[in-house]
Amino acid sequence: MRVWQTAEGEMAERRFAASALRQFAAAALEKKGVPAERARAVAEILVEGDLLGQTTHGLQLLTPYLESIDAGGMLLQGEPEVVADRGGTFAWDGRYLPGAWLVLKAMDEAIRRIPDHGVVTATLRRTHHIGALQAYLRRATDRGLVMILTSSDPREESVAPHGGTVARYSPNPLAFGAPTTGEPILIDISMSTTTNGMVGRRHREGRPFDHPWLQDAQGQPTTDAGVRFADPKGAILPLGGPSLGHKGFALGIIVEVLTSALGGLGRAERPTAWGGNVFLQLLDPEAFGGRAAFIRETGFFADFCRETPVPIGAPAVRLPGDGALARHAEQSAHGVRLYPGIEEALAGWAEKLGVPMPTPRA
């Protein structure tokens, strides 16, 4: 299969219609017993991840999701348990139901309550994995709302506290979306130097990182992703790396508090299932200085930053989400390119489950 090069690595040249990929992923999940509505929600978020260029958090996750169903790690039936509800805040126990479906369900509920409260905050504990956080943001920004979304996995220990040699917490991504006069600002960053998905990919491909984003078991910084698979294991460094990792560690703590502590269940319980704890907040600018003033300010600031002079020959300043939205538009129009190995994995499931494989676009 021919490939082309990106900053993340080589991408397959063949393209698939996003709608066909969604249909395939939903059908595969339904074959495993996931109810249709929930299967469609998971498929939507996975393909949205690939459209945005989040290829470690797109359809690459379909295989571990299907395997998790086989292992009993994803609960298929039932509803989340309401832990608390005060109108402007609510907390659910997701019981390891499909993560994307749970987050979208919570978003719909928060959007329903926004006119009465202005700010609605929710915590979800014990969701199954929720995919790329950036994939959710435009559902809020398209409605003129600000969204904060962050998650942690209380089972996962892959990031070392700054100064420590042993991993203690997960990469703890945080996403933030805000509407502007033009394209929205869409932030999605981990509180670690890299993600578990990228570490696994680099290790499989035998490719070192360009910078020392990990450390070995003795605490020495390294570019070798293999330290996470050694005995004893190394760890991913907090955002900021060896010199400024105290800042990433502090941000990781904030995520732990917002997700596990507020949700009422986390690492102290030593869970063994793959999943996540989630903090979700929607804010309506109309409840503060007004939506028109908000959009005027965010639009001005976005343009002000993009118009910043750059060195001769350097690319223009981009805001978070600019690249992802450009990839989304291009792939929506011309088809999705899948990272090498993903098409082959999907083909294996197609044969195993009797689900037709999507046909590449001409």
The per-residue pLDDT for range 67-114, each reduced to its tens digit, is 999 999 999 999 999 999 999 999 999 999 999 999 999 999 999 999
pLDDT per residue over 228-237, tens digit each? 999 999 999 9
Residue 210 has pLDDT above 50, yes or no: yes
Distance (Å) of CA 191 to CA 69, 162, 255, 268 = 29, 12, 8, 21
Please give the structure tokens belonging to residue 260.
């596990």
Please state, in angstroms and rounded to a whole number, the distance separating the CA atoms of residues 63 and 138: 26
Q: What is the pLDDT of residue 7?
A: 42
Using one digit for the tens of pLDDT, what is the confidence trace for 142-167?
A: 999 999 999 999 999 999 999 999 99
- Please give the C-alpha separations between residue 172 and each of 120, 259, 269, 278, 292, in angstroms, as whole numbers: 21, 9, 18, 10, 33
Q: How confident is the model at residue 254 (pLDDT cuts 50, 70, 90)?
A: very high
Read off the pLDDT of each residue in 212-236 and give the average, rounded to a whole number.
Answer: 97
Domain spans, the chain: 1-77+335-362, 81-186+244-318, 194-236
HSE, CB side, 13 Å, CA atoms: give it for residue 147: 32
Is the domain spanning 81-186+244-318 CATH 3.30.2350.10? The answer is no
Which two structure tokens, joined as six digits, stand for 250? 């502090």
| Euclidean distance between the first and the last CA atom of the chain, given in angstroms as a whole number | 14
Say how far apart CA 135 and CA 354 lie, in whole Å.
28
The SS3 assignment for 302 reads helix
- In this structure, whether the domain defined by 194-236 belongs to CATH 3.30.60.50 is answered with yes
pLDDT over 80 at 180, yes or no: yes
pLDDT number for residue 11: 59
CA 102, distance to chain mean position in Å, is: 14
Which of these, 208, 226, 204, 205, lies nearest to 217 by C-alpha position? 226
Beta partners for 92? 82, 124
Q: Is the pTM of this model over 0.75?
A: yes
Percent of the chain surpassing pLDDT 70: 97
Average pLDDT over residues 178-199: 97
Dist. CA 286–CA 305, nearest whole Å: 25
What percentage of residues in the chain have a pLDDT greater than 90?
A: 96
Q: CB under 8 Å to 223, separation ≥6 — which residues?
A: 208, 209, 210, 211, 212, 213, 214
- Give per-residue pLDDT as tens, 47-66: 999 999 999 999 999 999 99
Specify the pLDDT at position 12: 57
As a whole number of angstroms, the distance between CA 229 and CA 250 comes to: 26
Q: State the pLDDT confidence band at 13, using cuts at 50, 70 and 90.
A: confident
Residue 331 pLDDT > 50, yes or no?
Answer: yes
Q: Quick one: fold of 1-77+335-362?
A: Hypothetical Oxidoreductase Yiak; Chain: A, domain 1 (1.10.1530)
What average pLDDT does range 299-311 have in this prediction? 98
Name which of 165, 73, 179 is nearest 127 in CA terms.
73
* pLDDT for the residue 5: 43
The pLDDT value recorded for residue 256 is 98
The Cα 161–Cα 153 span in angstroms is: 15
Which residue in the block uniquely carries the two structure tokens 């508090």? 257
Mean local confidence (pLDDT), 237-256: 97
Tell me how far apart the 2 most distant CA atoms of the chain are, in Å: 58
Q: What is the mean pLDDT of the chain?
A: 96
Do 81-186+244-318 and 1-77+335-362 fall under one CATH topology?
Answer: no
Taking 60 as the threshold, does the pLDDT of residue 2 lie above it? no
